[in-house]
Structure 1
Amino acid sequence: MLYSRLAASLQAYCDTPRHFVLALSGGLDSRVLLRLMGQYLRLNPQHRCLAVHVHHGLSQNADEWSQCCLYWAREEGIECQVERVSLALGSRVSVEQQARERRYQALKKHLPAGGILLTAQHADDQLETVLLALKRGSGPAGLAAMAQSTPFAGGVHFRPLLTSTRTEIEHYGQQHQLEWVEDESNQDTRYDRNFLRHEVTPQLIQRWPGIRKAVARSAELCGEQDALLQELLHEKLQQALEADQSLSVASLGSERVGKQLIRQWLGLFNVLMPSKAQLDQIWQAVVQAKADANPQLCWQQVQVRRFRQRLYLVQQWPDIQDWQQECQLGQPCRLPQNLGSLTLRQAQGGQLRLPTPDEVLSVRFDPEAVEVKPVGRVGKRKLKKLFQEYGVPSWNRRRTPLIYYGDQLAAVAGLFVVEAFSGQDCDLEWHNDASDVQC
């Protein structure tokens, strides 16, 4: 039954040769999926499949599990690769969440455009996911839980066992005398999902045998409602979205509509959604703040900031105010924190003069107490005021490269040249991750 169900579900994707990536933990569910895919590929050799085992290093048995996965994949005639990832234990992010994020990052590396990622979640997992969403107080998007098929990394994430129960999968594994690994952490009921699996869902299923199908149906309906809401608000979101992917505050409308638009806007960046309380704070403390305020809300590693009546999603970075780096004329200077590289290059008709032999060329990021006169301006102004006039958001003012000749500021990358250092000998080129800027 499981094989016929899998073959039928894959039929919609296999009109042309496909490349599958199978997430192989070595546990019962993925072990059964590996056997099913081995059978499927023997009957459909035009397709390819790569099994990927993610080694988290959390268990003393992790190395042994990796070897088991390599052996079982070889038995099924499927190539297998092991990906090692590391987790920041003791951080504020839960181990479960970190492991999941690292796992999907590792899997994404192996998925070609148009490929299909296969994972082994089943109907009991779906029931647990909905219960966890209820515990968090999720809305329709969260209660939609896991769809059988979702876009992923230029391909598709497909869950072929989602309509099958844990009992059916266990029966298949025993019937075919399969071996699999038992992760000792799966017995630890300090983890919410394990608590539900061992203490709650067995009683629910015993009392209401049809609860898995009923919950799956509710999840599907929630997914349809959320998709409908996104469809209805799509045009309004496009109107509110600016060219730089910021969101116009004036276009948000009422609080109810505005919050939904903010959620959809955040969804464009694939970040962890804020909680209801955090979304309320975004609306009250950021959207509704006074016009001259500098409001923000932080969660995980991102911030929502407002600047000139637009909302921006900003990654949180450590302070680089004390960072300095000497540079050589004509050679790229690597900048910290994904800010790219900066090069002072000789060029006829440039905007900067050459540094003299005793003027050491360097890059800094500390704008405090700096007062200069840009080319074409009247009088000196503090750099803080100039940043405001040039429309640089507050969070970027300590992330904009400052080019020094000796101890004097000569230029601000992407903005202006200081009048005392203007000339026609050099161009300053800043190649960052978002764009190429010339000053």
Structure 2
Amino acid sequence: MAPQPLNTLEGLLNDALAETPSGRSIWVALSGGLDSCLMLTLAAGVCERADRRLRAIHVNHGLQVAASRFEAHCRTLCERINVPLSVVEVAVDTHGDGIEGAARNARYEAFFATLPAGDTLWLAQHQNDQAETFLLAALRGSGIRGLAGMPYRRDTQGITLLRPWLTQGRETLETVARSLALAWCEDPTNRDVELDRNRLRHRVLPALRERWPAAETALASSAQHASEADTLLYEYAQQELQTLLGDSHSLMINALRSRSRPRQRLLVRTLCQQQSLPTPPQKRLESLLDQLHAKPDAAVCVEWPGAQARLWRQRLYLMAALEPLPAWEVSWDGQAPLETPIGPLGWQVSTLKAPSQPFSQPLRVTWRQGGEVIRLAGRGRRDVKRLLQEAEVPPWERERLVVIMQESACLGAIDPAGKLLWQAEGVAFTRLTLSTELKA
């Protein structure tokens, strides 16, 4: 037996258990390999003693013949220790990310889709994995965030990811697993040195250990230092952003231009994080910062996967990528809940003379086309275009405006966030209590 390493691993799981609110389930990501099989086995005892619910999830990528063997092993283990298992089969799209990255993305998408909000997922990555991640990031030329490697804790998409064993080497895990006579599956692709991580594991790190026996510990320690530095920079940037952001959550370009280039990069990346947007790749980010000196009337849009940046009226806007709008127009009685291509309308409309009655003639609901005119109480007939200019609504939002028309008269205009901008004289808009906002 190996009591001290075993006590250490169980102690770390107890610490992780203390971070999960009572009443919520703990899940273990179970691949069938040594690390995850050991974690699930020890977690079963830890959770049983604490009277906490434990589940396992296995993602079958279907990328190799051995996939079915891995799934079968996971089912056998979970049956033996009486832990409920969820098996998710995924299709891996290898275009763009490479096989390793694509499989990882598919795996996490399965986690997010399966775990209920509020639950916690334990991942069995360890110190050696962290050292490999650090080296891979360095070889890609990553900045401090990439060098920080895998975080111990990450709260995302409603669940918590925890890696309790990041400080423990694989040798410790293997020692405990063998002392327990634990069975696991060996992935046949683990010896394929054409895969980047495997090449580091089997060719590079052994050479490093020959000269520096504590190489993995040192590399993982560097990742931890980078993580702490990244956290501090994020906190400082958050404080600075509070002085630069307007009501529209956009950045003042003049203020941003006055900062140094490294500070500009930090502020843009931090704002992306705050808005849950993917950060721009280095070349895209540099291109964006170059555009800060564009002419004030220039229509600037810099895009990267999943996000885009727009410059307008000396402000920088970061947002999710906007999909082209489909042709769309519907008839509406003003009362029934109405879906648009970007979500529920969220409003009812009626006349002040008969607030509970539908319109005698159907209304026409569509995107703003241009040329709409609305009669406002106390202001008379106004061009919607002029109203949008006066309200400083950005051009890309004007294109996605929903207008409610009665013949040639505009009765109201609603922005992409579901906000009623204007309503015509003699009509009343009432917000619905369910599904009240459009998707941006």
Measured at CA, do residues 99 and 308 of structure 1 come closer, stay the same or move farther in structure 2, by a change above 3 Å?
farther
Q: 2:263 aligns with which of 253, 257, 267?
A: 257
Assess if the C-alpha contact under 8 Å between 1:355 and 1:405 holds in 2. Answer: no
Task: Report the 3-state secondary structure (helix = DSSP H, G, I; strand = E; otherwise coil) of the residue aligned with 2:213.
Answer: coil
Aligned to 2:321: 316
Q: Which whole-Å CA distance do the structure 2 matches of 1:392 and 1:96 have between them? A: 43
Report if aligned partners of 2:281, 2:304 keep a CA contact under 8 Å in 1. no
Partner of 2:130: 126
Contact 2:6–2:176 (Cα < 8 Å) also in 1: no
Corresponding residue of 2:212: 208
1:275 partnered with 2:281: yes
Deviation at 1:202, TM superposition (A): 3.0
Q: Give the deviation of 1:254 after TM superposition.
A: 0.8
> Do 1:340 and 1:432's aligned partners in 2 also have CA atoms closer than 8 Å?
no
- In the TM superposition, residue 321 of structure 1 has moved relative to its aligned partner by 4.2
In the alignment of these two chains, the number of paired residues is 423
Where do 5+ consecutive residues of structure 1 fail to align?
none
1:6 is matched with: 9
TM-score (norm 1): 0.82
Give 1:169 shift: 3.1
2:85 pairs with 80, 89, 92, which one? 80
What's the secondary structure of 1:374's corresponding residue? strand
Deviations 1:74-106 (A, max 9, x none): 22232222234444x264455544443443344
Alpha-carbon displacement from aligned partner over 1:364-395 (angstroms, at most 9, x marks no partner):
2262xx313222467774x6555333322222
Secondary structure (helix, strand or coil) at the match of 1:392 reads coil
Aligned residue for 1:371? 371
User: How has the CA–CA distance of structure 1 residues 431 and 323 changed in structure 2, closer, same or farther, with 3 Å as cutoff?
Assistant: farther
Residues 429/228 of structure 1: CA separation in 2 closer, same or farther (3 Å cut): closer
- Aligned equivalents of 1:142, 1:174: Cα separation in 2: 34
Distance 1:196 1:111, change over 3 A: farther
Q: Name the CA distance, whole Å, in 1 between partners of 2:184 and 2:380.
A: 75
Report the equivalent of 2:417.
none
SS in 2 for 1:178: coil
In the aligned structure 2, how far is the partner of 1:182 from the partner of 1:400? Answer: 56
Could you say which residue in structure 1 is the equivalent of 2:75?
70
How far is 1:6 from its partner?
Answer: 1.8
Instruction: Write the deviation string for residues 264-290 of structure 1: whole angstroms up to 9, x where unpaired.
Output: 1111133332233222222112x3322
Q: Within 5 A, what are the aligned runs for 1:319-338?
A: 319-337=324-342
Alignment-derived partner of residue 194 in structure 1: 198
Give the structure 2 partner of residue 297 of structure 1. 302
Please name the residue that 1:388 is paired with.
Answer: 389
Matched, 1:26 2:29: no
1:274-313 Cα deviation digits (max 9, x unpaired): 233222222112x332221221221111112223333322
Superposed displacement of residue 34, structure 1? 1.3
The whole-number CA distance in structure 2 between the counterparts of 1:305 and 1:55 is: 40
In the other structure, the counterpart of 1:400 is 401
Equivalence for 1:416: 422
Change (3 A) 1:427 1:23: same
